[in-house]
Amino acid sequence: MKNHVSYPSTTTVQKSFWFTKVQDGEPVDLQTDSQYTGRVTYSSKSKDCTLTITNVGNSDSAVYKFRFITNHQDGSYTGDPGVTLSLTDLHVGTSRYSSWADLTCVSSCTLPPHSSYIWFKNGEKIPRKTSSTYSDYFEYADSYSCALQEHQDFPSPPVALILNKHAPKLPSVSVSPSAEIVEGSSVTLTCSSDANPAANYTWFKEDEDSPTASGQIFNINNTSPEHSGHYICIAQNTRGRHNSTVHLTVLEGNFPESPQSQQLVCHSKPQTQQLVCEPHPSLPRASANRVPSDPVPVLPSNSAPVLPNDPASMLSRA
């Protein structure tokens, strides 16, 4: 702030200062005012007097007047009407939805159009966020502040978002894979719940007293039909508990019939003089996902195979 004064050449200025307050009828020099300690400096050039204030805050909004005292009796003068300093802080406006918040960087003064902003979370700069608005999931006691891009050293006061403590809400339980679960495969059960403080998770199988597992994720490897049944996920914190149930069905695997139990049909090939034995055509062949049986050996036509179902019987050629 600058003030210009005029006085006769025969007048000597003995003291000059700036003030905002009057105490006991006397102006209080800013350099002796505890509100401005270490933050104000005076400088003069010719008859121009300049006031510099550092670390300006909203509380510095006031009318500043310049006063000088001369060597003449009653020669004290004050510049009127003074200089009005109006300040505005940036501040963060919030709209909350459970653990989600919509934030807005607000200023009461008119800013240039298309101004760029900087956002901070817990004191750390959030990259690539230059809009005056920002949305985010927050955790317990996360704090946010904002600043103008060209004045990032002067951020708004931080705003702390405190999650209200509450019991777990109805847990959501998912099963992966969601398709049919075949014996011998693996399956993962996942349980999640909105809770503050965070919930602890425990798994029970229906009609069993002891917990089956603990933690948000429950993995079952090498499943068998005995794993089928209802599984209960309990979410619990210091505020209460809630549970959800999911049903798991493990399909019994289909295993191929062993070669020893297959019925064989044998016939001779005149061209090669060999006897060939194959499974009976009325029996279903193994599907593609079954383990293939060992090939049936091809015997010379003058040999007789031993049938697996009747070790004592022999085939003879007619």
Asked whether residue 153 carries a pLDDT value surpassing 60, the answer given is: yes
| CATH superfamily of this structure's domain 91-161 | Immunoglobulins (2.60.40.10)
Higher pLDDT: 306 or 158? It is: 158
What pLDDT, in 10s, does the model give residues 96-147? Answer: 777 788 999 988 777 777 889 999 999 999 998 889 999 988 876 789 999 9
What spatial distance separates the first Cα and last Cα of the chain, rounded to whole Å? Answer: 127
CATH code of domain 172-251: 2.60.40.10
pLDDT at 199: 94
pLDDT at 295: 45
Question: Which ranges of 74-194 would DSSP assign to H, the alpha helix?
Answer: none
Higher pLDDT: 73 or 276? It is: 73
| Residue that the structure tokens 């002891």 belong to | 210
Find out whether 117 and 93 touch, Cβ atoms under 8 Å: no
Task: Tell me how far apart the alpha carbons of residues 84 and 69 are, in angstroms, rounded to a whole number.
Answer: 22
Q: Which residues of 274-289 are buried (b: 16+ CB within 10 A; e: fewer)?
A: ebbbebeeeeeeeeee
Does the pTM surpass 0.75? The reply is no
Res. 7 pLDDT band, cuts 50 70 90: low
Number of H helices, E strands in the chain: 0, 27
Is domain 2-85 in CATH 3.20.20.210, yes or no? Answer: no
What pLDDT, in 10s, does the model give residues 239-270? Answer: 999 999 999 999 987 544 444 444 555 555 56
Q: Alpha-carbon Rg of the chain, whole angstroms? A: 44
91-161 and 172-251 in the same fold: yes
Token representation of residue 154: 């002067």
Report the candidate in 144, 131, 140 with the shortest Cα–Cα distance to residue 95: 144
Per-domain residue ranges for the chain? 2-85, 91-161, 172-251, 262-318
For 173, residues 6+ apart whose C-beta sits below 8 A from its C-beta are: 189, 190, 191, 231, 233, 244, 245, 246
The whole-chain average pLDDT of the chain stands at 78
Higher pLDDT: 55 or 248? It is: 248
